[in-house]
Chains A and B, each alone.
Chain A
Amino acid sequence: MKKSMPSIIVTLVLFIIWQIIAVKMNASYILPSPLEILQKIWELRDILIGVHLPATMGVTVLGLIISIILGLFLAIIMDLNEKIENALYPIIIASQTIPTTAIAPLFVLWFGYGIWSKVLVTILITFFPITITVYDGFKSTKREMEELLITYGASKKDIFIKLKLPSALPYFFSAIKMAIPLSIIGAAIAEWLGAQSGLGYFSKRMMTQLDGAGVFAPVVVLSVVAMLLVSIVSIIEKTLIKWRKEI
């Protein structure tokens, strides 16, 4: 609690400043006040939490799971084989230069308004930090530890299972903590660009109605969900990896 006190104070101060400016401006279609946004969330709670949040979470969870599988697969094969690493690494980096908001409508064109076009956008944004971070985790393995295992007669598989996987575990959790907000952002962007439900879609609909608080309300819900999920992952990480500082 003591640790988080400064950030709580700064956040409160920012909200107070925001509240004062919004009240002075008195144009809630441009800048709604934090209290108006909270009021809007309460008014729309059934439709936000009951209808649109599950739609966005469906895309997020599916995109995140596929990204984790893809990210781990790419990290592992790049670590195991230098030729594969040389072939894939530049392509993976290049994939991040694609402007997601520009390519997302194309996915809608190719895959329709169903869930898969949105999942694809989510994957495109999310798999990268997982791949690169876990790959760095494998590479961070201490050379001396690897050599020690070699002197015991360890095979490549032994080294991978007994040394590289545990060494990369803290990196994996960091990757997941980065990937959760990104997957939510990806899902929301995809819904914003073409969808029939979801918090991104809802936010866009409120925009067309010039309802400033209505645009912010789903964004706040998404942020809270992201923070909650990251906190859960942090708790699991602390329980599983008590030795993180020892590496």
Chain B
Amino acid sequence: MLEFKNVTFKYSEDDFYMMKNLSFSVKKGEFISLIGQSGCGKSTILRLINGLEKPENGEILIDGKNINTLKDYCAFMPQKDLLFPWRTIEKNISLPMEIKGVPKSEMHKKCVDVLSEVGLLEYIDKYPKDLSGGMKQRVSFARTILAGSDILLLDEPFSALDSLTRMDMQEWLLKQWKHFGKTIIFITHDVEEAIFLSNSIYIIQDRPFEYMEKVKINSEYPRDREFLKNTEIVALREELINKLRNRREQ
């Protein structure tokens, strides 16, 4: 579904390349995570996919078509909820639809449907200040869903939450992923979070990186916390942590 073909990129203000000739692909309906050190280029990959940055060389394809020729192919959920404090929850999640010119009655119906799905329908007329951190992230996710795209780009969406809320949100996200059937590209610093959520994990190399090591998580969904205690999974977690630490020391 999504394919990076020999993508080379560097920020104009930097004198080094973030990535060179990077190629990888993601299948439709997959949940993949990108892990790596801070500043290694995880978010840059999402910025390239959503068109905020343009590659110097190479191309990014969705179903074989260059993203430059496409619209509304992906929806981005940032690290902070970025809810607009002057808008109600309904108005906040309507934003992508407002921009696309969806009729008001249709927007309202979709908002009600999605808010019911994420369990926040009673907050439809409330403001972001009335919600907890976890609720705000669920609203942010609802807004991402209502962008109407098949690929969701989630940039460390739970990193600011406390550990218990974070666990709840991870389980909740898996249910939402199954329900909406989207393709998710998820960025995280947390190896355990990546293992729990993903079909596959891509490990980002040092800068500039030319390939990402792919690790498949061979376990069926639905998953629960017990799955993280499996001997194989514990070993995998240690292996991934060691890989990341070794790269930092190099």
Query: A193 contacts the other chain (Cβ, under 8 Å)?
Result: no
A163 touches B75 (CB 8 A): no
Query: A247 contacts the other chain (Cβ, under 8 Å)?
Result: yes
B82 touches A243 (CB 8 A): no
Minimal Cβ-Cβ distance residue in B for A158: B99
Q: How far is the CA of A158 from the CA of B97 in the complex (A)?
A: 12
Q: How far is the CA of A241 from the CA of B78 in the complex (A)?
A: 25
Query: B71 contacts the other chain (Cβ, under 8 Å)?
Result: yes
B78 touches A162 (CB 8 A): no
Shortest CB-to-CB span from A168 to chain B, Å, is 11
Shortest CB-to-CB span from B55 to chain A, Å, is 17
A154 touches B80 (CB 8 A): no
Q: A142-B82, A147-B52, A246-B129 are known contacts. Are A153 and B100 too (CB-CB below 8 A)?
A: yes
Q: How far is the CA of A49 from the CA of B85 in the complex (A)?
A: 43
Q: How far is the CA of A101 from the CA of B54 in the complex (A)?
A: 55
A148 touches B100 (CB 8 A): no
Q: A162-B98, A243-B127, A246-B129 are known contacts. Are A151 and B82 too (CB-CB below 8 A)?
A: no
Q: A151-B75, A153-B71 are known contacts. Are A145 and B84 too (CB-CB below 8 A)?
A: yes
Q: How far is the CA of A242 from the CA of B126 in the complex (A)?
A: 13
Query: A233 contacts the other chain (Cβ, under 8 Å)?
Result: no
> Which A residues between 111 and 159 are near B, CB-CB below 8 angstroms?
142, 144-145, 147-154, 158
Bin chain A's interface residue count: 20 to 34
A246 touches B95 (CB 8 A): no
Query: A166 contacts the other chain (Cβ, under 8 Å)?
Result: yes
Total B residues in contact with A, Cβ cutoff 8 Å? 23
A151 touches B127 (CB 8 A): no
| Interface of B (DSSP majority class) | loop
A153 touches B99 (CB 8 A): yes
Q: A152-B95, A152-B100, A153-B99 are known contacts. Are A145 and B75 too (CB-CB below 8 A)?
A: no
Q: How far is the CA of A246 from the CA of B84 in the complex (A)?
A: 9
A166 touches B84 (CB 8 A): yes
> Which B residues between 168 and 223 are near A, CB-CB below 8 angstroms?
none
Q: How far is the CA of A152 from the CA of B100 in the complex (A)?
A: 8
Q: How far is the CA of A144 from the CA of B76 in the complex (A)?
A: 11
Q: How far is the CA of A148 from the CA of B81 in the complex (A)?
A: 11
Query: B119 contacts the other chain (Cβ, under 8 Å)?
Result: no
Chain B residue contacts of A247, Cβ below 8 A:
85
B52 touches A152 (CB 8 A): no
Chain A residue contacts of B80, Cβ below 8 A:
144
Q: A151-B50, A151-B75 are known contacts. Are A162 and B85 too (CB-CB below 8 A)?
A: no
Mark contacts of B60-89 with chain A using CB atoms, 8 A cut-off: 1 yes-contact digit, 0 otherwise. 000000000001101110101010111000
Residues of A within 8 A of B (CB): 142, 144-145, 147-154, 158, 162-163, 166, 169, 241-243, 246-247
The 6 closest A-B pairs by CB, nearest first: A246-B85, A243-B85, A152-B96, A151-B76, A166-B86, A151-B50
A-B contacts, 8 of them at CB < 8 A, read A144-B80, A147-B52, A148-B82, A151-B52, A153-B99, A242-B127, A243-B85, A246-B85
